[in-house]
């Protein structure tokens, strides 16, 4: 299996499965490129781990994983990073035999919406059938740990990353500013800062849960106070790097930057973000571009909407195929699942956005150091 590393200069490599084998199974991440001299503790990372931890409410999977992170490498005796790769691990603690047996009962069946069929094609009979293995949402544990570390680096640059639910089954949150969204961030199980809309969303999800089904939705991501000048004009556009990062999350099925698909209904003069001067700094009256022009950040907030599919595991009977017998079957899985992914996946989106931003910062600062541009241009990026 390839493709388990993301990033150019700030590099994140993950490993581990949903269940693994025997006691001591877990998920680990190695983060290369962490600056030396940073205070780093398990508790600092744990804050973000708790955002995606299951078993905390009625909208979560009932799987009782504690997701306690432990830093095992890259931090010296005085509690600060040494400049070596940082290693972190989270052990699986709720891998009960009853659930493993449930997976075994239909290990040869294609679960609609899951990766069984493509895993059969890629890995044959050796493919991990227990809890979807690396295709499980549990794979994202290492990403969130690495993202928490990336956020600590971004905090030194005064950059903030938040993501939150804005739509679920047709129920939409009202438009709000970054400050408004931040004020009500994580105030409810579905993490929608429009508290009235949140109540409606939760009620709808619970109705769907009673049917044995699941609900999709939309997450909004904001990268606030991001410096101008990040990204490259061609293949490594900041928007392309960010899209790669977010689309690598299993449940993500669509992404739009700024006005997104609405731009197909707009005139150029309406879509264009008009510049103006404020205190000697260039700003823009609108943000239809989502904070990126020519692949390079322009200093406005990065604004992204992300489409999240419904959890594919449902209790509704669905057609399937037994890949061992090559025979059509019916399937009604009874394993644990989230009735919607919205209440936890936002933490994964934040993590991948933070990792991407740090990687882009590393590349930009390296370029800036070598390009010897006139100071007036580098100063303009930081005004």
Q: Where are the domains of the chain?
A: 5-381
Task: Determine the 3-state secondary structure of 69 from DSSP.
Answer: strand
* Coil/strand/helix, residue 284: strand
As beta bridge partners, residue 13 has 5, 30
**Pairing, β 327-331 against β 302-308:** unpaired
The pLDDT value recorded for residue 282 is: 92
Return the ∠ at Cα 46 (arms to 43 and 47), rounded to 5°.
Answer: 100
pLDDT digits (tens, 9 = 90+) for 114-145: 888 998 889 988 888 777 788 888 899 999 99
Query: Alpha carbon of 272 to those of 19, 137, 222, 245: distances in Å?
Result: 49, 38, 20, 26
Quote the longest CA-to-CA distance of the chain.
71
Please classify residue 233 by burial: count the beta carbons closer than 10 Å to its beta carbon, then call 0-12 exposed, 13-18 middle and 19+ buried: exposed
Place of tokens 């227990």: 130
Tokens for 370, please give them.
């070598």
Tens digit of pLDDT for each residue in 172-196?
999 999 999 999 999 999 999 999 9
Ranges of residues in the chain with a pLDDT under 70 are 22, 333-336, 382-383
Torsion sign, CA atoms 288, 294, 295, 299: negative
Q: Can you tell me the distance from the alpha carbon of 219 to that of 223, in angstroms, rounded to the nearest whole number?
A: 13
| Residue 313 pLDDT | 86
- What does pTM read for this prediction? 0.93
Rounded Cα distance between 359 and 6, Å, is 9
Closest CA to 355 of 165, 157, 182, 153: 153
Q: How far apart are CA 140 and CA 352, in angstroms?
A: 10
CATH of domain 5-381: 3.60.150.10
| CA–CA dist 270, 263 (Å, integer) | 9
8-13-17 Cα angle (round to 5): 150
Helical pair 238-247 and 342-371, crossing angle rounded to 10 deg: 150
Write down the pLDDT at residue 383.
56
With beta carbons less than 8 A apart as the criterion, state whether 216 and 309 touch.
yes
């Amino acid at each position: 299996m390839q493709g388990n590393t993301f990033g150019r200069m700030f590099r994140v490599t993950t490993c581990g499965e949903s269940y693994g084998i025997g006691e001591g199974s877990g998920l680990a991440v190695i983060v290369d490129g962490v600056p030396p001299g940073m205070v780093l503790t398990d508790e600092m990372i744990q804050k973000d781990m708790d955002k995606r931890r299951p078993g905390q409410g009625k909208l979560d999977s009932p799987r009782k994983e504690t997701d306690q992170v432990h830093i095992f490498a890259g931090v010296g005796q005085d509690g600060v990073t040494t400049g070596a790769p940082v290693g972190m691990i989270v052990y699986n603690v709720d891998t009960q035999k009853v659930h493993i047996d449930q997976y075994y009962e239909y290990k040869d069946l294609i679960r609609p919406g899951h990766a069984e069929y493509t895993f059969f094609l890629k890995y044959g009979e050796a493919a991990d059938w227990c809890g979807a293995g690396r295709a499980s949402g549990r794979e994202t544990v290492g990403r969130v740990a690495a993202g928490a570390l990336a956020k600590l680096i971004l905090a030194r640059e005064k950059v903030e990353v938040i993501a939150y639910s804005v739509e679920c089954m047709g129920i939409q949150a009202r438009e709000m500013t970054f400050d408004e969204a931040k004020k009500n961030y994580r105030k409810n199980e579905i993490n929608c800062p429009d508290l009235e809309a949140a109540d409606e969303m939760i009620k709808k999800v619970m109705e769907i849960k009673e049917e044995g089904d699941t609900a999709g939705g939309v997450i909004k991501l904001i990268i606030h106070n991001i410096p101008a000048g990040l990204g490259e004009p061609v293949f490594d556009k900041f928007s392309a790097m960010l899209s790669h990062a977010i689309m690598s999350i299993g449940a993500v099925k669509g992404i739009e930057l700024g006005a997104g698909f609405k731009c197909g209904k707009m005139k150029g003069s309406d879509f264009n973000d008009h510049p103006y001067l404020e205190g000697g700094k260039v700003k823009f009256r609108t943000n239809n571009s989502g904070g990126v022009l020519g692949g390079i950040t322009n200093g406005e907030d990065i604004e992204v909407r992300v489409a999240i599919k419904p959890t594919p595991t449902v209790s509704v009977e669905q057609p399937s195929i037994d890949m061992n017998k090559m025979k059509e079957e019916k399937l009604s899985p009874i394993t644990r699942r989230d009735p919607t992914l919205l209440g936890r996946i936002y933490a994964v989106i934040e993590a991948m956005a933070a990792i991407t931003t740090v990687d882009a910062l590393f590349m930009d600062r390296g370029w800036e150091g070598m390009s010897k541009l006139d100071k007036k241009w580098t100063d303009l990026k930081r005004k």
